[in-house]
Amino acid sequence: MNLSLLQQQLINHWQKDFPLISSPYAQLAKELGSSEAEVLEALKALEQADILSRLGAVFDHKKAGASTLAALMVPEEDLEYVADIVNKFEQVNHNYAREHDYNLWFVVTAADDFILQRVLARIEQLTGLTVLVLPMEKAFHIDLSFQIDFDSKQPLARVN
Amino acid sequence: MTQTRLAKTQEALNPAALSVPCAPEDKAPDNETLTLEQQRQLRVYLEQGLPLSPRPYQEIAARLNTSEAAVISQINYWQQQSLIRRLGLVVKHRQLGYCANAMVVWDIEDQDVDRIAGQLSARGEVSLCYQRPRRLPHWSYNLFCMIHGKNKEAVLRQIEVLTRELELNHIKKDVLFSYKAFKQQGARYSQRKPGNDRA
């Protein structure tokens, strides 16, 4: 998908500080010299293309509930099968294969530690593997929004 | 560590087996306007995303049976409390060409962690930097950095430069590139049912 200038601007300017006013999209349009309808259209197209995951809130991990990074060492031929079990938990929001003996990495977030611990225990039970549990001890830097370098020469590839 | 092929039990394949018990309800945070249940619902809506229509807060307010002003004021309160870290577009970096996602893990002497983490965090290419516990003997790394780039070679070069410039060559580290995203979604803290509600 080739992104329009409007879409690129939306991505690079509105990953944070989305307006808390009655007509926020009209405000974005005003700042970007566009119309409310065009902004909404651009965002819908980004969502359609699976580039926009959502326009919403990112909650603080610690204040919003319990969360941890976790990993499993999965025999290569079982990776898809185990990833599928892990994915089925609504509390798992990221799940990646990585190049390491610990080859499946996922993040579990839950309303509280009680649920979190039970999800981890259940994953161990269902997979027969020991989960490496690595909760955050200290956050030094979290830059959740990030500047996208839109290079027109490099077409955007769809992955996964 | 050697592992044998997993036994694929019927239990693991049965969605009902994935549910675990619920925890008791949280205590009420201070709020004068929305009920606890409305607050919980609002968090679900914010985690799922605002409607892409002209009056998104009004739409959510209608679903919650409250006023637009109450919704806006609640979100504002959460932002002030830093419960909400940011409100805006959540994009999928892979879809934008940022496919090389490296988790760099370091084994740093405990007393040096704060100093080195500070140096790493100041680098523009590092998007996240966290301290996590070691789990010996299998896992000896205690500091994690994320570096996102458009290709693996460029990211490896960045890591090399960063290691040299910060004089971290003597520190044991490992670079874990992701090669497949099985799942990528926003966190659902507000989900009360810990089971699997998609099956």
Looking at CA atoms only, how far is residue B19 from chain A in angstroms? 8
Q: Pick from A150, A22, A138: which is nearest to B129 by CA? A: A138
pLDDT at A148: 72
pLDDT at A147: 66
pLDDT at B186: 63
Cβ contacts of B139 within 8 Å, gap of 6 or more: A102, A132, A134
Cβ contacts of A53 within 8 Å, gap of 6 or more: B49, B90, B91, B92, B184, B185, B186
Query: pLDDT tens digit string along B62-72?
Result: 999 999 999 99
The answer to whether the CB atoms of A83 and B174 lie below 8 A apart is no
The answer to whether the CB atoms of B132 and A128 lie below 8 A apart is no
First to last CA, chain A: 15
On the question of pLDDT at B27 being above 50, the answer is no
When pLDDT is averaged across residues B130-140 and rounded to a whole number, the result is: 95
Query: pLDDT tens digit string along A84-98?
Result: 999 999 999 889 999
Nearest CA in chain B to A62: B83
On the question of pLDDT at A112 being above 70, the answer is yes
What CA–CA distance (Å, rounded) separates B126 from B121? Answer: 6
Which domains occur in chain B, in start order? 20-80 (no CATH), 91-177 (3.30.70.920)
Cβ contacts of A84 within 8 Å, gap of 6 or more: B182
Nearest CA in chain B to A21: B72
Q: Pick from B195, B186, B10, B88: which is nearest to A107 by CA? A: B186
**Which of B90, B101, B182 to probe by mutation at the A interface, max A CB count within 10 Å?**
B182
Quick check: pTM over 0.80?
no
Q: Measured between CB atoms, which of A92, A98, A139 is closest to B183?
A: A92
**Which of B41, B180, B190, B192 to probe by mutation at the A interface, max A CB count within 10 Å?**
B180
Nearest CA in chain B to A43: B52
pLDDT at B149: 86
- Indicate left, alpha or beta for B97 from its phi (over 0: left) and psi (-120 to 50: alpha): left
Query: Contact B19/B196 with Cβ under 8 angstroms?
Result: yes
Q: Which of residues 17-76 of A touch B (CB under 8 A)?
A: 17-18, 20-26, 36, 40, 43-44, 46-47, 49-61, 63-65, 67, 69, 73-75
Query: pLDDT tens digit string along B98-114?
Result: 878 899 999 999 999 99
Nearest CA in chain B to A37: B54
Q: Measured between CB atoms, which of B89, B182, B197 is closest to A11?
A: B89
- HEC states along B163-175? HHHCCCCCCCEEE
The mean-pLDDT minimum among A40-54, A115-129, B7-21 falls in B7-21
Residue, of A59 and A37, whose pLDDT is higher: A37
Residue A9 DSSP label? H
On the question of pLDDT at B4 being above 80, the answer is no
On the question of pLDDT at B36 being above 70, the answer is yes
Q: Measured between CB atoms, which of A77, A115, A135 is closest to B5?
A: A77
Order across the sheet with A132-134: list the strands: A132-134, A66-72, A104-110, A92-98, B173-184, B100-106, B143-149, B126-131, A138-142
pLDDT at B5: 53
Looking at CA atoms only, how far is residue B157 from chain A in angstroms? 18
Helices and strands in chain A: count of H runs, count of E runs: 6, 6
On the question of pLDDT at B192 being above 80, the answer is no
On the question of pLDDT at A106 being above 60, the answer is yes
**Which of B43, B52, B71 to probe by mutation at the A interface, max A CB count within 10 Å?**
B52
pLDDT at B155: 93
Of how many residues is chain B composed? 199
ipTM, two decimals, is 0.73
pLDDT at B191: 52
